Structure 1
Amino acid sequence: MPSVNFVTVDVFTSSRFAGNPLAVIPDARGLSTEDMQRIAREFNYSESTFVLPPNDPSNDAHVRIFTPTTEVPFAGHPNVGTAFILGQLPSLFDKPVGETLRFEEKAGVVSVTLLRDRHSAVTGATIRAPGPLTTASTIPLELIARCASIATSQVKITNHAPIIASVGLAFAFAELNDLAALAAARPNASVFHEADVMYGAQAPAFPLFLYVRDEKSPWYIRARMFAPLDHVPEDPATGSASAGLGAFLVAGLEEKDATVGATIEQGVEMGRRSVIGLEVRKEGGEVKDVLVTGSCVKVMSGSMEV
Structure 2
Amino acid sequence: MTEGRHFRQVDVFSAEPLLGNPVAVVHDAEGLSDEQMQAFARWTNLSETTFLLAPTDPAADYRVRIFTATSELPFAGHPTLGTAHAWLEAGGVPAGEGVVQECGVGLVQLRRTDGRLAFKAPGLIRSGPVEPALAADIAAALGVGRDEILDIAWADNGPGWVGVQLASADVVLGLKPDFAAMPVDVGVIGPYPEGSECAVEVRAFCPHAAGTTEDPVTGSLNASLAQWLAGGVLPASYTASQGTVLGRRGRVHIETDEAGSIWVGGDTLTTILGTAAL
* Same fold by TM-score greater than 0.5: yes
Distance 1:134 1:213, change over 3 A: same
Q: Match of 1:47? A: 48
Q: Secondary structure at the match of 1:113?
A: strand
Bigger share in strand:
1
Deviation of 1:167 (Å): 4.1
The reply to whether residue 179 of structure 1 matches residue 155 of structure 2 is no
The superposition leaves residues 2-46 of structure 1 with CA deviations (integer Å, 9 ceiling, x where unpaired) of 233311011000000111011001211111111111111111111
Worse-superposed segment, 172-181 or 4-13: 172-181
Q: Match of 2:117? A: 125
Q: Match of 1:102? A: 100
Q: Match of 1:21? A: 22
Q: Match of 1:76? A: 77
| 8 Å Cα contact 2:14-2:267 kept in structure 1 | yes
Deviation of 1:243 (Å): 0.9
| 8 Å Cα contact 2:73-2:158 kept in structure 1 | no
Deviation of 1:236 (Å): 1.0
User: How far apart in 2 are the matches of 1:108 and 1:68?
Assistant: 22
User: How far apart in 1 are the matches of 2:122 and 2:102?
Assistant: 10
Q: Match of 1:202? A: none
Instruction: Pick from 131, 138, 147 the counterpart of residue 144 of structure 1.
Output: 138
Distance 1:23 1:152, change over 3 A: same
The reply to whether residue 213 of structure 1 matches residue 191 of structure 2 is yes
Worse-superposed segment, 291-300 or 139-148: 139-148
What letter is aligned with 1:263? T
Q: Secondary structure at the match of 2:264?
A: strand
Q: Secondary structure at the match of 1:111?
A: strand
User: How far apart in 1 are the matches of 2:256 and 2:235?
Assistant: 6
Q: Match of 2:179? A: 189
Q: Match of 1:165? A: 155
What letter is aligned with 1:246? A
Distance 1:98 1:43, change over 3 A: farther
| 8 Å Cα contact 2:48-2:68 kept in structure 1 | yes
Unaligned runs of 5+ in 2: none
Distance 1:156 1:136, change over 3 A: closer
Q: Match of 1:121? A: none
The reply to whether residue 294 of structure 1 matches residue 266 of structure 2 is yes
User: How far apart in 1 are the matches of 2:172 and 2:59?
Assistant: 44
| 8 Å Cα contact 1:108-1:131 kept in structure 2 | no
Unaligned runs of 5+ in 1: 118-123, 196-205
Distance 1:179 1:274, change over 3 A: same
Distance 1:216 1:139, change over 3 A: farther
Q: Secondary structure at the match of 1:245?
A: helix
Deviation of 1:151 (Å): 2.7
- TM (normalized to structure 2)? 0.88
What letter is aligned with 2:79? P
Worse-superposed segment, 170-179 or 289-298: 170-179
Q: Match of 1:32? A: 33
| 8 Å Cα contact 1:246-1:262 kept in structure 2 | no
Deviation of 1:55 (Å): 0.4
Q: Secondary structure at the match of 2:237?
A: strand
Distance 1:233 1:244, change over 3 A: same
The superposition leaves residues 195-226 of structure 1 with CA deviations (integer Å, 9 ceiling, x where unpaired) of 2xxxxxxxxxx221111112425981101111
| 8 Å Cα contact 1:278-1:293 kept in structure 2 | yes
Deviation of 1:57 (Å): 2.8
The reply to whether residue 260 of structure 1 matches residue 236 of structure 2 is yes
Q: Secondary structure at the match of 1:248?
A: helix
| 8 Å Cα contact 1:84-1:114 kept in structure 2 | no
User: How far apart in 2 are the matches of 1:298 and 1:173?
Assistant: 31
User: How far apart in 1 are the matches of 2:258 and 2:181?
Assistant: 36
User: How far apart in 2 are the matches of 1:280 and 1:168?
Assistant: 21
Distance 1:290 1:40, change over 3 A: same
Distance 1:217 1:152, change over 3 A: farther
| RMSD, aligned α-carbons | 2.6
Across the two proteins, how many residue pairs are aligned to each other? 273
Instruction: Pick from 267, 270, 276 the counterpart of residue 252 of structure 2.
Output: 276
| 8 Å Cα contact 1:90-1:96 kept in structure 2 | no
User: How far apart in 2 are the matches of 1:213 and 1:139?
Assistant: 25
| 8 Å Cα contact 1:174-1:210 kept in structure 2 | yes
What letter is aligned with 1:69? T
- TM (normalized to structure 1)? 0.81
The reply to whether residue 232 of structure 1 matches residue 212 of structure 2 is yes
Q: Secondary structure at the match of 1:277?
A: strand
| 8 Å Cα contact 1:128-1:292 kept in structure 2 | yes
